[in-house]
């Protein structure tokens, strides 16, 4: 599915009368179903005042990594760097937390609310090196939309 089509559908989800978690779940589902190389899609958020991330809504296989300390793995690094992290080959990363042997690549985009990094969207792919600048821009847009619906 084209990013432009997904944007239209996500904008509609954002406007629906549902909880923020239900909307984020619908967004995870549509992203995973809509893009062939998005095999696992999930949101992590800062866990209260703790220096750790907690898994929120996700689509794909269940993961053991429901809590990730800041600094650990790709997700934990993004929690402290506030920057997009595109990993074309997960095997080339030493600070990486493996969720599945099938995962070849990953992209993590921080989610800002009122200028603060409060979480992230994390996407795992079974395809090597699939992510482009277009994915980064699209996922930044997704996070901006999600920031509108979380308090
Ligand atoms: N691979 C991530 C851990 C989360 S799973 O991909 C769902 C990381 O290195 O932070």
| 26: enclosing H helix or E strand | helix 20-34
| pTM, to two decimals | 0.98
The Cβ of residue 45 has, within 10 Å, a number of other Cβ atoms equal to 18
Q: Which residues lie across from 19 on neighbouring strands?
A: none
Closest CA to ligand 1's atom 3: 97
pLDDT tens track for 23-36? 999 999 999 999 99
pLDDT tens track for 9-57? 999 999 999 999 999 999 999 999 999 999 999 999 999 999 999 999 9
Ligand 1: which residues within 6 Å by Cβ? 40, 42, 63, 65, 68, 73-76, 96-97, 99, 106, 122, 124
Closest CA to ligand 1's atom 1: 97
Cβ contact 47:70 at 8 Å: no
Cβ contact 76:69 at 8 Å: yes
């Amino acid at each position: 599915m084209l990013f432009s089509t997904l944007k239209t559908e996500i904008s509609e989800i954002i406007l629906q009368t549902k909880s923020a978690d239900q909307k984020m779940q619908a967004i995870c589902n549509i992203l995973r179903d809509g893009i062939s190389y998005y095999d696992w899609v999930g949101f992590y958020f800062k866990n209260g005042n703790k220096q750790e991330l907690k898994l929120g809504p996700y689509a794909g296989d269940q993961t053991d990594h429901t809590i990730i300390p800041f600094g650990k793995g790709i997700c934990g690094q993004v929690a402290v760097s506030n920057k997009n992290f595109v990993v074309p080959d997960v095997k080339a990363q030493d600070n990486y937390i493996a969720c599945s042997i099938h995962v070849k690549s990953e992209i993590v985009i921080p989610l800002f609310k009122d200028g603060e990094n409060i979480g992230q969207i994390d996407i795992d792919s079974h395809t090597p090196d699939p992510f482009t600048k277009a994915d980064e821009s699209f996922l930044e847009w997704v996070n901006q939309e999600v920031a509108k619906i979380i308090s």
